[in-house]
Chains A and B, each alone.
Chain A
Amino acid sequence: MRGITKRFPGIVANDNINLVVKKGEIHALLGENGAGKSTLMNILFGLYQPDEGEILINGKPVHITSPNVANELGIGMVHQHFMLVETFTVTENIVLGNEPKNGLQIDIRRAVKEVEELSRKYGLKVDPTAKIADISVGMQQRVEILKTLYRGADILIFDEPTAVLTPQEIQELIEIMHNLVKEGKTIILITHKLKEIMAVCDAVTIIRRGKVIDSVAVKDTNPDELAAKMVGREVTFKVDKKPPQPKEVILSVENVTAMGNRGVNALNGISFEVRAGEILGIAGVDGNGQSELIEVLTGLRKASGGRILLKGQDITNRLPREISEAGLSHIPEDRHKRGLVLDFTMSENMVLETYFHPRFNKNGFLDYAAIDKHASRLIEEFDVRTPSIHTKARALSGGNQQKAIIAREVDKDPDLLIAAQPTRGLDVGAIEFIHKRLVEQRDKGKAVLLISLELDEVINVSDRIAVIYEGQIVGIVDAKSTTEQELGLMMSGGKRMQGGGSDE
């Protein structure tokens, strides 16, 4: 790609970008949120048209006017947000647009057979007849990869493929990528995770604010250098924090059971405690009851058994509002779905849970002056970059949206802060900021419950780590002394521990 420039209203997303990817290599694209990586790849895949610049494949200039053209040129893309039709089966998703036919109708049997063959050839295990809605995120990703292979792609683009995967799944994916390269494919990988780049890539191109900063071979560089190039300053990866000083129990979960969305128990008598002045991390493979646990704790889902105590007060099955008022704050895992009303102004979003408090509301009438003042203060304090407090939340970048939510939740001065996937999809700069805030909360003597799929994050930020497996806590370990291997084993149900001790 030569001299690619792409402008959006008010921003140059790609500014004269040159990118050279050699056949058979795994090439990483690295950059902060909003650096322009996805935009560049969307151009390569024909979803956007560049304002300037040209693309050459095997030395020949091409015009990629639509994904169709990209497919024909052997370019396939696994998108950051999956492009799968939830209500269709795996096979239907894979053949969509290129259906094998039998007379007028789709030859579904042949399609299934082709999918099975492909899946065997590349070692991508999928169930061809399962509905997308019913399969794991990992399998969904394999479907995405099969989709590109089914179309005969030689160049595969992966946009943040590991953001949604468990450590085991990431391992599998890395293997798959190696396989693909062995079969003669070329891969472009977008990721924020330096460790992954070091592990699988041959070369890396760093983009900042739409411009290429550098392009180097992986063997000639190291994570610290990459991070510095990416954000333009030194970054620390270790969250530096004082030793914890746990005090009284704030949250106590006793034998809680709850039904999941599929009609079976998602929580099977889960029990644990969080103390004031500590961060308890919950590690686990996605789908082991984390979401349900958060929902039960915050009153969004009914518990069918057990008891939840907040500062000794029973909050089991109370309304979300009562629980929130009792001193619990919650950074939701899906910020667009739960965290913000995207079409409300930032100001309105900052009082989403407190608008009814006497300081914002008199006799049922809102005091907008007070609300705006409150919002201005939060936005300033938490460095939320927004043109104005009257800007709609929709217009902010993901990182800033997340900062705003954290500002709102932390400002409620809760006794317990639940942070669910607080840094998903954010760049290292933003991640650093958020982690600092969590630790700050702890140091103020508050309890923090961190639920994350990222093992690194859990290990770095937490004081103690509870591992959740099939709706139960299968072990609690000390964050300082545990290893990724140990956690990984527990997360896959391999080893059951109690209070840190082994019972094998």
Chain B
Amino acid sequence: MDWGTILSNLVHDTIVFSTALIFAALGGMYSERSGVVNIALEGMMIIGAFTGAVVTFFAQDAFGSGAPWVGFAAAIVAGAIFALPHAVASITFKADQVVSGVALNFLAAGLSVYLTKIIFHGAGQTTTLSHVFGKWHIPLLADIPYVGHALFEGYPTSFIAFALVALSWYVLFKTPFGLRLRAVGEHPRAADTVGINVKRMRYTAVMISGALAAMGGATIALTTTSNFSHNTVSGQGFIALAALIFGKWHPAGAMGAALFFGVAQAIKSLVQIFGLTQYVPTGFIYMLPYILTILVLAGVVGRSSAPAALGKPYETGSR
């Protein structure tokens, strides 16, 4: 195989692996930009994956190959609803946002498998789906040598994810909603004094966050695993959180960081296929992305500045 093909495959796989991370990191961005820490991305992804898989499973008969879309839509709704307790606890009841997030992670992990076992007669995972997202082949563009396979042949969710990156950038930096969202995360009292409803903004942001993270989870279930089990998400929510911080709470930055983690995953199996493991132990290849992340953070990126009011509950009339 020539280098062009290898590279083309690498880019292609990178996008596959990054998609879920992009969704979730974007989700985290909305919440954290509004000042609410979201360590619950993992749990929100789990709920997304679970809902996506289960709804798709039951929609298969009625909708056929349209079923994954139904499942995906259901996951979005489920994610937004699932985020609600986090919002209630951390916004209305001023709970510690980290604690509330951890609670949600536990809840998602337990509830999803518990329900799976009830729905699927004791099985720890959903039945394998017969209809999942197929790869799209963008006409003409996908036929360009190398580049076509790399960029224009992929799951619909990948295209949605990249579109959402652009959309989020626009929303955040060009619209009144975005300006207000950022104001609420930086200086909620200032926002309050100009008549912005801080709590409502934060509720909205946290629910958007849940919806997006759930899209990430559903993406895994409906593209790569074709089912849901306890380890469908397995830590990717935390990686997404890292990507968000790595990307400095910026949509493009988060996307870049997500792609970086994706590339590392893709390299893992490529290296084995090309038999490079005889030169480098697999263990080291597995470690590489994480080591690189730390090195990059320590060397280049340095101190990243979180939204100023991140993690601080806002009380009207407090100082």
Contact = CB atoms under 8 A, between A and B. Distances in A.
B182 A47 contact: no
A151 B194 CA distance: 9
A5 to B, nearest CB: 16
A71 B196 CA distance: 12
B96 interface: no
B176 interface: yes
Contact of B187 (A45, A83, A105): A83
Given A104-B175, A106-B175, A106-B176, A79 B193 contact: yes
A319 interface: no
Interface string B147-182: 000000000000000000000001000111001101
Give chain A's interface secondary structure class: loop
Of B192, B195, B196, chain A has the most CB atoms within 10 Å of the CB of B195
Interface size class, chain B: 20 to 34
Interface in A96-113: 96-99, 101, 104-106
Given A47-B317, A86-B308, A97 B187 contact: no
B138 interface: no
Interface in A439-475: none
B316 interface: yes
Contacts of B183: 85, 88, 96
A162 interface: no
Contacts of A48: 317
Nearest to A79: B193
B175 A98 contact: no
Contacts of B170: 105
Contacts of B317: 42, 47-48
B13 to A, nearest CB: 36
A99 B194 contact: no
B174 A106 contact: yes
Interface in B165-221: 170, 174-176, 179-180, 182-183, 186-187, 189-196
Given A83-B189, A85-B191, A99-B176, 12 more contacts: A67-B194, A83-B187, A83-B194, A84-B190, A85-B183, A86-B186, A88-B186, A96-B179, A96-B190, A97-B194, A99-B179, A105-B175
Interface of A: 42, 45, 47-48, 66-68, 71, 77, 79, 81, 83-88, 92-93, 96-99, 101, 104-106, 147, 151
29 contacts: A45-B193, A47-B192, A47-B193, A66-B195, A71-B194, A71-B195, A77-B193, A83-B190, A84-B187, A84-B190, A85-B182, A85-B183, A85-B186, A85-B187, A85-B191, A86-B186, A86-B308, A87-B182, A87-B308, A88-B179, A92-B179, A93-B190, A96-B183, A96-B196, A97-B191, A105-B170, A106-B174, A106-B175, A106-B176
